[in-house]
């Protein structure tokens, strides 16, 4: 089995800690290791570093080499343009033999229990030995989150393995509420497993415009110029013929924003004092919060964020205005 870490996302939801040059995967949000380093260590618990690949943007090449010195440089595929995850998954999969099993993982998720994680991965790998299909890893949903993909299960075909009726990427709020209440849906954790042969067969059938440029053009530069920008969830998962899901029996978070760090138990900065307040404080200077509920206060050398914890998605728009003002 080969593992592929998707590490080319940008994302500024952790401003003022993250910037364009340092997206989430390169932040040390927990303890003293970056999320990409934690992802690599989780994989190398059972895999040799030679079997770990990374697809990232060329602007993060240096940071990636620095974080993952054990991974051979030729395993780190550098994209010239940001074209989302479908081209990244395709380019990586094309590196391997037809019969190879490929495990795709995002670089920026939090999964603390490595044993339980590997139990699920090994179950998936075993399942694919004699069955065709794409494996997803399903998380039991707890809220009508609109930032995730949803997996509708058909039936449990063996312990923790379900056949899938449908995959729906990022539904609107009303649909997400419906899915949650039905009890038939999992969240998509963003990890996938497939064999190269089946992946190519499915891409040829459902997503030709993404696959073809990889065969049509000689250079990867030209391929990337021509390939459409689309995520693997829309390009393939919503259309794929045979999908299975393994119920993820481990703690998982995609660490979406500052609020999720608070939920994961990250503590306030030691020099903060809260009076009649409920606040998540990450600052380098002594900080006092008085009489405020559900507030996030973050200060780094890049700037200061003071926000209501339920409105953090507005950071992106605000940053656009900040750029304009500078
Ligand atoms: N190489 C490369 N190139 N990687 C990329 C690119 C790209 O252009 N764009 C994003 N990535 C990486 C990100 O760094 C991240 O590790 C992973 O691919 C997923 O991309 P996101 O942009 O974070 O996707 P998402 O969070 O909107 O949605 C996905 O994850 C959810 C769970 O967190 C989907 O798979 C959803 O269905 C899923 O629920
Ligand atoms: Mg994500």
Nearest CA to ligand 1 atom 27: 147
Q: Mean pLDDT throughout 92-106?
A: 98
The answer to whether the CB of 188 is under 6 A from ligand 1 is yes
Average pLDDT score over the chain: 95
Give me the pLDDT at residue 13, please.
86
Q: Which helix (H) or strand (E) holds 139?
A: strand 134-139
Residue in 92, 106, 187 to alter for ligand 1 test, most ligand atoms within 8 A of Cβ: 106
The pLDDT-based confidence of 326 (bands split at 50, 70, 90) is low
Nearest CA to ligand 1 atom 11: 9
The answer to whether the CB of 88 is under 6 A from ligand 1 is yes
- Nearest Cα neighbor of 137 from 176, 172, 109 is 109
CA distances to 97, 150, 194, 301 from 256, rounded to whole Å, are: 35, 17, 26, 22
The answer to whether the CB of 169 is under 6 A from ligand 1 is yes
Residue in 3, 8, 166 to alter for ligand 1 test, most ligand atoms within 8 A of Cβ: 8
Asked if pLDDT for residue 103 goes beyond 60, the answer is: yes
Q: Mean pLDDT throughout 71-88?
A: 98
Buried b (16+ CB within 10 A) or exposed e, 223-260: bbeebeebbbbbbbbbebeebbbbbbebebebbbbbbb
Residue in 4, 9, 38, 186 to alter for ligand 1 test, most ligand atoms within 8 A of Cβ: 9
Give me the pLDDT at residue 51, please.
98
Of ligand 1's listed atoms, the one at least distance from the Cα of 148 is: 39
The answer to whether the CB of 190 is under 6 A from ligand 1 is yes
pLDDT in tens, 168-216: 999 999 999 999 999 999 999 999 999 999 999 999 999 999 999 999 9
Cα–Cα distance measured from residue 99 to residue 112, given in angstroms and rounded to the nearest whole number:
31
The answer to whether the CB of 83 is under 6 A from ligand 1 is yes
Residue 7: Cβ within 10 Å count: 29
Q: Mean pLDDT throughout 281-301?
A: 97
Q: Mean pLDDT throughout 2-20?
A: 90
Among residues of the chain, what percentage have pLDDT more than 90? 91
CA distances to 56, 123, 128, 216 from 5, rounded to whole Å, are: 8, 20, 20, 26
Of ligand 1's listed atoms, the one at least distance from the Cα of 5 is: 16
pLDDT in tens, 209-236: 999 999 999 999 999 999 999 999 999 9
What is this structure's pTM?
Answer: 0.95
Q: Mean pLDDT throughout 21-46?
A: 93
Nearest CA to ligand 1 atom 18: 6
Asked if pLDDT for residue 30 goes beyond 90, the answer is: no
Asked if pLDDT for residue 325 goes beyond 90, the answer is: no
Measure 235 CA to ligand 1 centroid, in angstroms: 13
């Amino acid at each position: 089995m080969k593992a592929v870490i998707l590490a080319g996302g940008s994302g500024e939801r952790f401003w003022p800690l993250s910037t364009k040059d340092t997206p989430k995967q390169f932040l040390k949000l927990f303890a003293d290791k970056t999320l990409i380093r934690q992802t690599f260590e989780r994989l190398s618990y059972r895999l040799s570093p030679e079997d770990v690949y990374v697809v990232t943007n060329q602007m993060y090449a240096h940071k990636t080499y620095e974080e993952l010195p054990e991974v051979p440089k030729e395993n780190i595929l550098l994209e010239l343009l940001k074209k989302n995850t479908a081209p990244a998954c395709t380019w990586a999969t094309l590196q391997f033999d037809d019969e190879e099993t490929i495990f795709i993982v995002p670089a920026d998720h939090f999964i603390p229990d490595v044993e339980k994680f590997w139990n699920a991965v090994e179950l998936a790998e075993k399942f694919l030995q004699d069955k065709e299909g794409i494996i997803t890893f399903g998380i039991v949903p707890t809220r009508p989150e609109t930032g995730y993909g949803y997996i509708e299960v058909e039936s449990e075909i063996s312990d923790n393995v379900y056949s899938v009726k449908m995959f729906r990427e990022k539904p609107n709020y009303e649909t997400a509420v419906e899915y949650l209440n039905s009890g038939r849906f999992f969240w998509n954790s963003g990890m996938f497993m497939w064999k190269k042969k089946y992946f190519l067969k499915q891409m040829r059938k459902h997503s030709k415009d993404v696959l073809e440029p990889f065969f049509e053009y000689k250079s990867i530069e030209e391929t990337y110029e021509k390939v459409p920008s689309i995520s693997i969830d829309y390009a393939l998962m919503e259309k794929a013929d045979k999908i299975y899901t393994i119920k993820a029996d481990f703690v998982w978070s995609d660490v979406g924003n500052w609020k999720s760090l608070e939920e994961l138990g990250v503590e306030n900065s030691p020099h903060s004092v809260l009076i009649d307040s409920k606040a998540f404080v990450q600052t380098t200077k002594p900080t006092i919060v008085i009489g405020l509920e559900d507030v996030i206060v973050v200060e780094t050398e890049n700037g200061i964020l003071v926000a209501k914890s339920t409105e953090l998605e507005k950071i992106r728009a605000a940053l656009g205005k900040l750029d304009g003002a500078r």
